Structure 1
């Protein structure tokens, strides 16, 4: 379903994000971070929801990303916060300036730093715990890292506030298809004659990487842009904000495809332009010329 309409938010560049988030970056919660040290990114499909976590791919010591106060230590599944989407397992929650909160989940309960209880004040780099198997990852001992804007009750993509990691996971722009209101798909690589009307535009989903933003244009005019800088909780479901709120079933209708936006194709010769951008600003684009009857 599509939820309430909203105005498009101007959150499509890191500079714009500075209007909502502080003008500084956190440190990484693990050492020697690179693109291949992530198991899954914020905004990726995760079972029947959208992931609000940046998930690392190696079991290491989790460290505080900045100065703050440990407000909560959750052990195993004793999660009393009714607006957290995921099962955190053992987790440490740290409150920072500007209404931001960092969450370090899937920790090893036995390895929790005992000083956190004696002195809840932490600085950047304070050891919290090694990672464990307490969250819903089950057999994967990977850190789940989240950032929450408590003022606006949004999950923030950690890549916005973290130092750049150099080369990012390579994005692909393949398997482009259109879906009409009746659920019929048109593969743009092979089908060039398409009925007029409204369509959802999909690309082939990648199992790990997620774009920072996607744009779809018709005849040079932008129809829609999706940005993965924040996730909003709407009616107990996480959603991406654009012209609408897109929940997981719309963003990822199956395991193979990912929504890029919606368009209207008028009669005639139309040009469909697609653009994806990663967090370092690297863009990939494709253009399709179609006959619309």
Structure 2
């Protein structure tokens, strides 16, 4: 029997830990079939999902037990800031839960219900357009660590995609304490002080890791491995917990680090790393007066 759960009720069903191998929920997963990565800005929030482009058959990423089948909409899903539409949630013996959203409700397997056992690659449904991204038929796929109550980047657990999108910095900005942005591609003289470092946001690609150093000394590393909730806000972690507003102050910028610049010549080094450990390296010579 299908049931609808709000987020708090779903969390009450989650527990335990362990380890096993996961697989992608669609037969074909590559850089062309994914339109948005974990940690991207989607719907005004840091996305906890990998979102696919087109409709396809959806299968379980690992063996487990179905803990919820959602077949309508709710505006209060906590972690799931946008409606999941028709969705299934599967609990796994390794302490993780997988979420399969934006499904075609008519295609949900008839025997799929609470406590249904499902095998790896067991069919769940086909994707549809029941969730917030109403113009897309692509699956919205999430992984949660139910012990630590954190969203997990699926790319950590799944087989590596053959080719990841190229990471680009584009324009790099420093935000000063007065709220002024400085384009360091062209502006090389800056006052000493604390700055937030931003790069131009890419619409699809998201780094797995951003590393910023000043004069060879590491200032901050932000890793896109998990997203946690702090005081009701979804956050990524570096030296501090950064909310959506911190990570994405507008639709065009993405946070790389918070740094301190002191008087003298400074070299700002930015390294963008993808899940395959391929890096894009940039250096900026600055005159701090």
Please indicate, yes or no, whether the TM-score normalized by the shorter chain is above 0.5. Answer: yes
SS of equivalent residue, structure 2 residue 147: coil
Number of positions where the alignment pairs a residue of Structure 1 with one of Structure 2:
273
Shift of 1:188: 1.1
Establish whether residue 152 from structure 1 lines up as the match of residue 148 from structure 2: yes
Aligned residue for 1:225? 221
Equivalent positions of 1:121-136 (< 5 A) are 121-136=117-132
Aligned residue for 1:186? 182
Aligned residue for 1:270? 266
* Cα separation, 1, equivalents of 2:18 and 2:37: 22
Select 2:134's aligned residue among 129, 138, 152: 138
Is the contact between residue 49 and residue 237 of structure 1 (CA under 8 Å) also seen in structure 2? no
Establish whether residue 205 from structure 1 lines up as the match of residue 205 from structure 2: no
Aligned residue for 1:279? 275
Shift of 1:25: 3.1
Shift of 1:169: 1.1
Given the superposition, is the C-alpha separation of residues 259 and 127 from structure 1 closer, same or farther in structure 2, using an over 3 Å criterion? same
Structure 1 segments unaligned to the other structure (5+ residues) = 1-20
Aligned residue for 2:159? 163
Establish whether residue 30 from structure 1 lines up as the match of residue 26 from structure 2: yes
What is the Cα-based RMSD across aligned positions, in Å? 1.6
Aligned residue for 2:54? 58
* Cα separation, 1, equivalents of 2:32 and 2:73: 29
* Cα separation, 2, equivalents of 1:241 and 1:117: 36
Aligned residue for 2:85? 89
Establish whether residue 101 from structure 1 lines up as the match of residue 97 from structure 2: yes
SS of equivalent residue, structure 1 residue 259: strand
Aligned residue for 1:40? 36
Shift of 1:24: 4.0
Is the contact between residue 20 and residue 94 of structure 2 (CA under 8 Å) also seen in structure 1? no
With structure 2 as the length reference, what TM-score do the two structures score? 0.91
Is the contact between residue 18 and residue 95 of structure 2 (CA under 8 Å) also seen in structure 1? no
* Cα separation, 2, equivalents of 1:277 and 1:183: 28
Given the superposition, is the C-alpha separation of residues 55 and 118 from structure 1 closer, same or farther in structure 2, using an over 3 Å criterion? closer
Shift of 1:47: 2.5
